[in-house]
Structure 1
């Protein structure tokens, strides 16, 4: 259950842009969130799809005990210490505008690219079913995904490859409980918006 929150606020740097700071902080945060097995959620209060930015604030949600442990783990990360201000843990406020909280669904957007198309072509050619119609159907299906979401650039811990984490944050009417991934996001679980 999400009862408390705290924020990480990026400190502007001369040598790094806000985007680069957020990339580094999200990488450090990912290392720490993996230990909480889906219990800590995230949102980006300054998220802007129009400007394609996550903004300079990360808000984390969980129980007070979980967030205290997370703060201790984050204090061991020099990137977080040097490039952010870690705010105090506070109870989630109740809003009065609609009698309760409004909620956000923060989810990862996965896209299929040319590498997926090449892998499919190789596999389906070996099976003898690859042709131009199959290729066009895959391009049509995968081409529907918009890459106009705010994002950050990360490096995979497991294989060392660099990738882009596309983020979709949207309002939803009702609260949904569930687990979060190691980035604090979910395809169904919501976090409060205030």
Structure 2
């Protein structure tokens, strides 16, 4: 049995969906991080029901196996300052007949640049950097949707790329972003 809450973003002509997703994701991340710290493991996962290769869409679902964990996360409190731009449902039970499948939502970190690859290749193979650089093929980087975040410790901005992979149901833990390398969440 699983429970979830759903956040729907209300973009406008002045405020794009991607900007709102970033504004929602930051306090959501802090909430999930504090829950993970409290419980010693990540027991809250997220999904993006309208995910495409270009966009995360305008919905976020937050899942947990236990209603109490979602209640203690207090998502409404974390997102209170965004109430004019979002709709947050009450905690609901996932109805098994509605489940169409399962998916892993995980962090994707793009490959290093061609320059760094060439430097490593030259060092490993004992050839000049110039020769290694010519040997490096530049493959087109994958374009995945992301949210723009700011590190609380270093204050640097970074892009958190999110990849969706359909997979059979698999249990596991989630990180402080609600993502996992193997744990699935239901799709419906």
**TM-score between both structures, scaled by the size of structure 1:** 0.79
**Cross-structure match for 2:95:** 93
Structure 1 Cα separation of the partners of residues 183 and 105 of structure 2: 8
CA distance in 2, matches of 1:20, 1:160: 18
Runs of 5+ consecutive residues of structure 1 not aligned to the other structure: none
Tell me the equivalent position of 1:171. Answer: 166
For the Cα contact (< 8 Å) 1:12–1:18, is it kept in 2?
A: yes
Over 3 Å counting, the alpha-carbon distance change for 1:40 and 1:116 in structure 2 is farther
- Show the 5 A alignment for 1:11-30: 11-30=10-29
Tell me the secondary structure at the aligned position of residue 42 of structure 1.
Answer: strand
63, 68, 83: which is aligned to 1:65?
Answer: 68
Call closer, same or farther: CA 1:155–1:129 in 2, change over 3 Å.
farther
**RMSD (CA atoms):** 2.8
1:92/1:162 CA distance change after superposition, 3 Å: same
Q: What is the Cα deviation at residue 168 of structure 1? A: 0.9
- SS of the residue corresponding to residue 96 of structure 2 reads coil
Question: Partners of 1:181 and 1:33 in 2: how far apart?
Answer: 8
1:73-99 Cα shifts (integer Å, max 9, x gaps): 541444443421111111111127xxx
The 3-state SS of whatever aligns with 1:95 is helix
Judge conservation of contact 1:107–1:167 (CA < 8 Å) in 2.
yes
2:83 is aligned to 81
Say how many residue pairs are matched: 179
* TM-score between both structures, scaled by the size of structure 2: 0.81
Distance in 1, Cα, partners of 2:182 & 2:51: 19
Deviation at 1:133, TM superposition (A): 4.4
Say if 1:19 and 1:152, in contact at 8 Å, map to a contact too.
yes
Q: Is the 8 A contact 1:107 1:186 kept in 2?
A: yes
In structure 2, C-alpha distance between the alignment counterparts of 1:182 and 1:145, rounded to whole Å: 30
- Cα distance in 1 for residues equivalent to 2:85 and 2:34: 22
Give the 3-state SS of the residue equivalent to 2:97 in structure 1. coil
CA distance in 2, matches of 1:13, 1:169: 26
Distance apart, 1:160 and its partner CA: 1.1
Q: Look up the SS of the partner of 1:75 in the other structure.
A: helix
Structure-1 separation of matches of 2:142 and 2:26:
21
When residues 86 and 171 of structure 1 are mapped into structure 2, their CA distance, relative to the original with a 3 A threshold, is: same
CA distance in 2, matches of 1:109, 1:168: 6
